[in-house]
Amino acid sequence: MENKIKVGLIGLGTVGSGVYKTLQNFDNIEIVKIAVHNKKKKRNIENLDESIITDDAYEVVNDPQIQIIAELIGGTEPAFDLIKTAIKNGKHIVTANKELLAKHGEELFNFAQANNKVILYEAAIAGGIPLIMPVKTILAGNKINKIKAILNGTTNYILTKMDVLGASYNDVLAEAQDLGYAETNPTGDVEGFDAAYKITTLATISFGKRIKFENVYREGITKILPEDMKAANEMGYKIKLIASAELNDDGQADVRVHPMLVPKSKTLAHIDYVTNAVTLSGNPVGEVTLSGPGAGEFPTASSVVGDILAICSELGKSDYILPMMRCNHNEDAQMIDITETKNKYYLSIKAKNRMGVIGLIGTACGNNHISVESIVQKELKEDYAQITVITEICKEKSMLKLIEELENNDNIWGVNSLIRVWV
């Protein structure tokens, strides 16, 4: 018993329960204290020792016998202060907290380094998919310059069901909430916050430059229409919420989250329901795609426990453990604003059913230096026409001016959808 490595858990929800159950299989590890919000809550854990449960998380981080803290509560407070206190008290950290890392990762990693402690966070980006450690170790010899990823299972489930059923966003969201795939308040997922937190940290470690979360462009899926799904399929695409990061030749970073028309020839077009996937492009490896469960009790617990075991394997062997897993960059990336980017676009336009309207749209594109790849009249009624446009690559600024010009034209009832296209 005395030789066992002592671990403390902060949080015993879905992930915390999975971590607790999994760690029971390791004889060299002892969970000595667990902090929960509500001690009276019934938990689906056999033989749980109630004597180690506390509702004061500071009892865990201040316990002198604990060597490793697993923070599994999420959010920025009190998680930020708890982790700093734990590090100050000489403890190594494992966390699944994507929001905390995106907003305060720089300060926490610097603090950990100053105190010669490590923070591992495999579970914070893509649930059970091995990603952070491969990037830091096996792929360390590569210059990764592009990431395209599906990092949120809730939105991927909703978009897949909309695609399969031809259903509306609101109908599928209600079903996802009933099944437990979406929260009662789904804003963090459907408006892209969750994926933005994750791509912020993933791009930071992949590019070796700090990405500031406040500079990451974010757009959710709430405006996607069933007609968009149908049109995308007819043109050879699937609509996915893509977390994207690219480093150009000048070292500038373009990091964003938004819906995208993904060609069916791409692997990510076929990642469906709650599955996550990450495609990394770099030199010399080329393109690598990692996919698997992005959330859930045991998939996420798998990553948390893996990090705990990585620390356990090093304790007592070196005064400076896991050097490859530490934050080793101190340069902020120069970020490209979304308005300065170049993209390909899909537009769905509702216009009056009048002669010359398609020509009018083409002229407006020309006025804004936008070349059209295709323009199709999808639906024709007595009083209106539904027109779908795919552009060539053009500047975002030009697209914004085009939208303004179209919506100020009496013959155009509105631009129903504007979605960027994978190139």
Catalytic amino acids?
Answer: 198
Contact assessment for residue 10 and residue 70, using Cβ atoms and an 8 Å cutoff: yes
The secondary structure of 280-327 as a DSSP string is EEEETTEEEEEEEE-SSHHHHHHHHHHHHHHHHTTTTT-SS--GGGS-
Torsion sign over Cα 16, 19, 24, 29: negative
Q: 174: Cβ–Cβ under 8 A, 6 or more apart, which residues?
A: none
The secondary structure of 123-156 as a DSSP string is HHHHTTS--HHHHHTTTTTSEEEEEEEE--HHHH
**What is the C-alpha to C-alpha distance for residues 24 and 113, in angstroms, rounded to an integer?**
30
Contact assessment for residue 324 and residue 140, using Cβ atoms and an 8 Å cutoff: yes
Q: 359: Cβ–Cβ under 8 A, 6 or more apart, which residues?
A: none
Q: 321: Cβ–Cβ under 8 A, 6 or more apart, which residues?
A: 92, 118, 311, 314, 315
Q: What is Dmax (Cα atoms) for the chain?
A: 85
**CA proximity to 121, closest of 325, 417, 376:** 325
Pairing between strand 29-35 and 5-10?
A: parallel
**What is the C-alpha to C-alpha distance for residues 88 and 320, in angstroms, rounded to an integer?**
16
Contact assessment for residue 104 and residue 204, using Cβ atoms and an 8 Å cutoff: no
**CA proximity to 211, closest of 251, 165, 271:** 251
Tokens 């045991």 found at: 298
**Backbone torsion region of residue 38, taken as left when φ is above 0, otherwise alpha when ψ lies between -120 and 50, otherwise beta:** beta
Q: Three-class SS of residue 381?
A: coil
Contact assessment for residue 352 and residue 413, using Cβ atoms and an 8 Å cutoff: yes
